[in-house]
A and B are shown apart, each in its own frame.
Chain A
Amino acid sequence: MAEEKQNGGKGWVGASLPRKEEDRLLRGRGKFADDIKLREMLYLRFVRSPYAHARIVSIDTAAAEALPGVACVITGKEIAAETQPFIEIGPDHAQKIRDFPMAVDKAIYQGEPVAAVVAESPGIAEDAAELVTVEYEALEPVVEAEQALTDHSILHEAAGTNRVWNGVWEYGDVEQAFKDAAYVVNIDRLHFHRFSSTPLETNVIIGEWNPKDERIYYWCNNSFPSFAIQFLAAHLKIQIDKIRVQTFDIGGSFGIKITSYPQMAVCALASKKAGGRPVKWVETRSEHMVSSAHGNERTFRDTRVALDKNGVITAIDSKHIDDCGAYPRYEPLGCVIWSQVFCGVYRFKNARIDFWQAVTNKCPVGPNRGYSRMQHLWFLERVIDICAHEIGIAPDEIRLRNYIRPEEFPYTTPNGCVYDSGNYPKMLEVAKGLIGWDEWKKKQFDARKNNRMIGIGIGTTLDSGTNNFGQSQIINPYAPFSGNSQGANCKLDIYGEVVVAVGSCPQGQGHETTAAQVVADVLHIHPDLITVRTGFDTERNVHTGMSGTYASQFAVSGLSAVHGAAQKLKTEMKRLASFSLETSEDDLEFGVGEQGPEIKAKSTGKSINYWGLANIVNVNSAVLPENLYDVTLNCRYVWRAPFKVPDTKAKYGSLTLTYASQLHIAVVEIDADTFVPKILDYVAVDDCGTVINPPIVEGQVYGATAHGIGAALMETCVYDEVGNMLTSTFSDYTPITSMNIPKIKYGHTSTPSPHSYSGAKGMGEGGAAPIHTISAALQDALFAHGIVINDSFNNADSIFRALKARDAGQRSELVKLETRQASSAK
């Protein structure tokens, strides 16, 4: 009986269940932070610096404060007087950076808040903000990370340098590998551009500092509340339990909403100054583009690649310079997170990466989909493609010679990370089949005869998920973070309803659905009979210090916590049912009967439904024997990843639990007249191990592919020489839409993870495969024209400039090939 009901015996995990969230979201009944209206609520508008680097000489708020309807104006100086600077993760001089939610003495990026006006309506707040006059003394801006490292113009005087962090990763015998090499390819410069994710819903925060109970209440869409409250409690000098954070439906984040805690601080402080009235801030799109968070920009210099005679990479030596914008917020964690994918999908053992991070007079970066790993994976895929073209090996063949072999998994990388499972050659084979590789190769050959520029590119990427926060100690040995954890609660409510809560903040990933599928399989009931709480609430006391939604981990950390809580509940239910049905626990069977979800004694056919069980514990407890007094039917479980703190000296150890992978192939044509690159065909193959819900996974692959294609061809944050952000509206920064995303052929392979209970691997970030793939396809189209793609952003303008620069021998300066011995690489 139980088995038939259980999705025809196949179980609910793996079923293509429609998402529970869709019903309310598609019918406009979602609940978002901006939908919340509170009594006496005020509205906040920031006054922002027009300068990228300027000393604040004076702020005159009198005219603004005098405007009818204005409750108060708050400045950075006031905030600095009553708070602590935010915690700094970086060591040594980086610890001396003084980061407040608003500029105090200096503004160090265009758009940085310098004051905040709070008024009865958004309109009054906006008008009053234009009456605040700020006198600035412009200083020399620093807009390039390499320029920043010269310390010619220092942003944070307290730190005394623009260098946030530097470390060298070195493994194997790099110099010996270069001595033995058949080929050495030298690449002067590669550059990963600055872009951002554009969630449909911008940041929204309502903060109330209640004078009665002296607690701070937040209604917001922050996507990593446990991280935010740890920073806010120290900053606002308040006990962490006095901060309540609630999130609801969230319209996308992609990591960007992790770093909204500075604005959360301002809303609370403004509420306090306004007598405890709640203060709401709704970020405009231009504010979001100029001042929320961007992805890390990274420059790769003086790269040397050693290869043997068969084109197998034996060593890489390179200097990487990361630009984290004005403040290291969540940084410098990015300085180590890239090393989760140290060797990408390749099996070279010898490498030296000299990694630097610098502050610049630009918007602070934040974890942006693919955070810090996508930059490194793009670098490795550029290296493999450039080497392929330089020594004359086909890009698919050189990958097959360099891929980690399926039989080598679990694979330990040079820096001690453990890739749980994968089969990259199989993904390449499936992708080639889906796109019709051979037919396209023939069409390309014919097209080139007519001077058409067609390129076929491959991009192999990883989505490392469930990170070990212990890697922060590689950055700063005193960092009090390590491991990873997530909490969940599963209960039978008073009438026996199954209610689940998780410490995550879904932004469209379908957590309510997949959590219900896991619990349904444990209790052998239909997912529709399970309620999963929407959003996040500290008051549910489910969360851990790492609760939120980030780093491709819900399928592992979230669902492992849910599975653990459901198993704990099931254990209690068995004890109760065994008592009430007077039978042994082995005789019990979970399922659904005439009276709904129930537990049945196989031997007698007697059963008790969930209402009955809950009744004994919650309402009719006089019948409960003492040995069952510990049964609550309200079970919290904390799942912990099996991590150790890495060897911080050697920078060696397991930094992530699972490694989903994706392989994309793109066929791109560059119009000979307009130089506009057009995608002719596109395939995406995904391997995230056991799939909990196929349409949700497919949706994530499409989403990440759209994001990647947008970043590769359409989206780039442009700053001018004085630090003005020139792409602050959607007329200049053009995010991809459903109107210009090509048809994507989707394929799937599966290598279950030995590191998660279900075999699933987190895959929400996607690894930015399209950026690698489109760079590869453009280079394939342009290599014969003497062009090497050395930037992650390419459009008609950049291609036109590259072709024009070709006459100046652009190719020869960028890449130099040394052929050492007679080689039979072809």
Chain B
Amino acid sequence: MAIKFAGEFEVKKKPEEVYDFLTDPNRFASLLPDFQGLTVQDATHFTIKVNVGISYIKGSADVKMELAEADRPRRAQYKGQGSVAGGNVSMVAGFDLSPTAYGTRVKWQGDAQIFGRLASVAGGLLEPLGKKQVQKLIDGLQAALS
């Protein structure tokens, strides 16, 4: 059960500032919908805890994240792996930054693969709900960077 997502937005900050924000979990993690907690292991590894609620499945997700690609100030990509309410999730999310006349264009894309009971039970709901949550995150990032 793969969910793909992509989009872009523009902000009035320089690429370096946007890059530094997007690669510091302490600054962006709290923008995650239903965010519960963050544990930073080192400069490129951290764990996020978020609540998950889809149909009658309620629980939390612990996702180990790794900053897999870091090319300041042009590109950053994260890889994540974790367990979520009797299932597992693996994901990849990346940002491509390009300067504009007024600031920076942020192109984002990624995909998440859901495994297990969550996919079995809530298969049909996952994609719309997943995209809704991602959009909430992007809106939060956009607001924080504006």
Chain A interfacial positions (CB closer than 8 Å to B)? 48-52, 110-111, 130, 133, 136, 138, 286, 290, 720-722, 724-729, 732
Is A50 touching B123 in the complex (CB atoms < 8 A)? no
Choose one: B2, B114, B123; the contact of A732 (CB below 8 Å). B123
- Any A CB within 8 A of the CB of B115: yes
What are 8 A-B contacts defined by CB distance under 8 Å? A48-B116, A50-B115, A51-B115, A130-B86, A286-B117, A724-B114, A726-B120, A726-B124
Is B90 touching A724 in the complex (CB atoms < 8 A)? no
A133-B83, A286-B121, A729-B121 as given contacts; A724 in contact with B116, CB under 8 Å? yes
Is A724 touching B83 in the complex (CB atoms < 8 A)? no
Is A50 touching B121 in the complex (CB atoms < 8 A)? no
Give the docked Cα–Cα distance between A290 and B116 (Å): 10
Is B121 touching A724 in the complex (CB atoms < 8 A)? no
Give the docked Cα–Cα distance between A722 and B115 (Å): 8
Determine the chain B residues whose CB is within 8 A of the CB of A52 once the complex forms. 115
Is B116 touching A720 in the complex (CB atoms < 8 A)? no
Shortest Cβ-Cβ A-B pairs, 6 listed: A50-B116, A728-B120, A724-B119, A726-B123, A50-B115, A50-B88
Closest to A49 in B: B116
Closest to B120 in A: A728
Give the docked Cα–Cα distance between A726 and B123 (Å): 6
Determine the chain A residues whose CB is within 8 A of the CB of B115 once the complex forms. 50-52, 110, 138, 722, 724
Determine the chain A residues whose CB is within 8 A of the CB of B120 once the complex forms. 110-111, 286, 290, 724-729
Give the docked Cα–Cα distance between A286 and B116 (Å): 12
Chain B interfacial positions (CB closer than 8 Å to A)? 1-2, 59, 83, 86-88, 90, 113-121, 123-124
Give the docked Cα–Cα distance between A478 and B91 (Å): 49
Is A50 touching B117 in the complex (CB atoms < 8 A)? yes
A51-B116, A110-B116, A722-B115 as given contacts; A136 in contact with B88, CB under 8 Å? yes
Determine the chain A residues whose CB is within 8 A of the CB of B119 once the complex forms. 50, 720, 724, 726
Determine the chain B residues whose CB is within 8 A of the CB of A133 once the complex forms. 83
Most chain B CB within 10 A, of A50, A110, A136, is at A50
A781 to chain B, nearest CB (A): 28
Determine the chain A residues whose CB is within 8 A of the CB of B2 once the complex forms. 720-722
Closest to A130 in B: B86
Give the docked Cα–Cα distance between A382 and B15 (Å): 63
Closest to B119 in A: A724
Is B117 touching A728 in the complex (CB atoms < 8 A)? yes
Determine the chain B residues whose CB is within 8 A of the CB of A720 once the complex forms. 1-2, 119, 123
A110-B116, A732-B123 as given contacts; A50 in contact with B1, CB under 8 Å? no
Give the docked Cα–Cα distance between A724 and B59 (Å): 19
Determine the chain A residues whose CB is within 8 A of the CB of B118 once the complex forms. 50
Is B90 touching A138 in the complex (CB atoms < 8 A)? yes
A724-B116, A726-B123 as given contacts; A50 in contact with B90, CB under 8 Å? no
Closest to A718 in B: B123
Determine the chain A residues whose CB is within 8 A of the CB of B87 once the complex forms. 50
Determine the chain A residues whose CB is within 8 A of the CB of B121 once the complex forms. 286, 728-729
Determine the chain A residues whose CB is within 8 A of the CB of B117 once the complex forms. 48, 50, 286, 728
Give the docked Cα–Cα distance between A505 and B93 (Å): 55
B125 to chain A, nearest CB (A): 11
Closest to B83 in A: A133
Determine the chain A residues whose CB is within 8 A of the CB of B116 once the complex forms. 48-51, 110, 724
Determine the chain B residues whose CB is within 8 A of the CB of A724 once the complex forms. 1, 114-116, 119-120, 123
Is B86 touching A51 in the complex (CB atoms < 8 A)? no
Give the docked Cα–Cα distance between A728 and B117 (Å): 8
Determine the chain A residues whose CB is within 8 A of the CB of B90 once the complex forms. 138
Give the docked Cα–Cα distance between A48 and B119 (Å): 14
Closest to B123 in A: A726
B46 to chain A, nearest CB (A): 18
Give the docked Cα–Cα distance between A286 and B123 (Å): 14
Is B123 touching A51 in the complex (CB atoms < 8 A)? no
Give the docked Cα–Cα distance between A505 and B126 (Å): 42
Give the docked Cα–Cα distance between A725 and B121 (Å): 9
Give the docked Cα–Cα distance between A110 and B114 (Å): 12
Determine the chain B residues whose CB is within 8 A of the CB of A130 once the complex forms. 59, 86
Give the docked Cα–Cα distance between A133 and B86 (Å): 10
Closest to B90 in A: A138
Give the docked Cα–Cα distance between A286 and B56 (Å): 13
Closest to B116 in A: A50
Give the docked Cα–Cα distance between A383 and B119 (Å): 37
B39 to chain A, nearest CB (A): 15
Closest to A47 in B: B86
Choose one: A726, A727, A729; the contact of B1 (CB below 8 Å). A726
Determine the chain A residues whose CB is within 8 A of the CB of B83 once the complex forms. 50, 133
Determine the chain A residues whose CB is within 8 A of the CB of B59 once the complex forms. 130
Determine the chain B residues whose CB is within 8 A of the CB of A721 once the complex forms. 2
Most chain B CB within 10 A, of A111, A130, A724, is at A724
A52 to chain B, nearest CB (A): 7
Determine the chain A residues whose CB is within 8 A of the CB of B114 once the complex forms. 724
Closest to A724 in B: B119
Give the docked Cα–Cα distance between A49 and B118 (Å): 12
Closest to A50 in B: B116
Give the docked Cα–Cα distance between A138 and B114 (Å): 12
A722 to chain B, nearest CB (A): 6
Closest to A138 in B: B90
Give the docked Cα–Cα distance between A725 and B83 (Å): 17
B77 to chain A, nearest CB (A): 19
Give the docked Cα–Cα distance between A640 and B114 (Å): 52
Give the docked Cα–Cα distance between A732 and B123 (Å): 9
Choose one: B1, B86, B124; the contact of A722 (CB below 8 Å). B1
Give the docked Cα–Cα distance between A725 and B87 (Å): 12
Closest to A110 in B: B116
Determine the chain B residues whose CB is within 8 A of the CB of A725 once the complex forms. 120
Give the docked Cα–Cα distance between A726 and B114 (Å): 11
Give the docked Cα–Cα distance between A728 and B115 (Å): 13
Determine the chain B residues whose CB is within 8 A of the CB of A286 once the complex forms. 117, 120-121
Give the docked Cα–Cα distance between A726 and B90 (Å): 18
B29 to chain A, nearest CB (A): 22
Give the docked Cα–Cα distance between A720 and B2 (Å): 9
A50-B118, A729-B120, A729-B121 known; 10 new pairs, CB 8 Å cut-off, are: A48-B86, A50-B116, A50-B117, A50-B119, A51-B116, A110-B120, A138-B115, A286-B117, A722-B1, A725-B120
Determine the chain B residues whose CB is within 8 A of the CB of A732 once the complex forms. 123-124
Closest to B84 in A: A50
Give the docked Cα–Cα distance between A48 and B86 (Å): 8
Closest to A136 in B: B88
Give the docked Cα–Cα distance between A50 and B114 (Å): 9
Choose one: A50, A726, A729; the contact of B86 (CB below 8 Å). A50
A495 to chain B, nearest CB (A): 55
Give the docked Cα–Cα distance between A721 and B115 (Å): 11
Give the docked Cα–Cα distance between A111 and B120 (Å): 10
Determine the chain B residues whose CB is within 8 A of the CB of A727 once the complex forms. 120
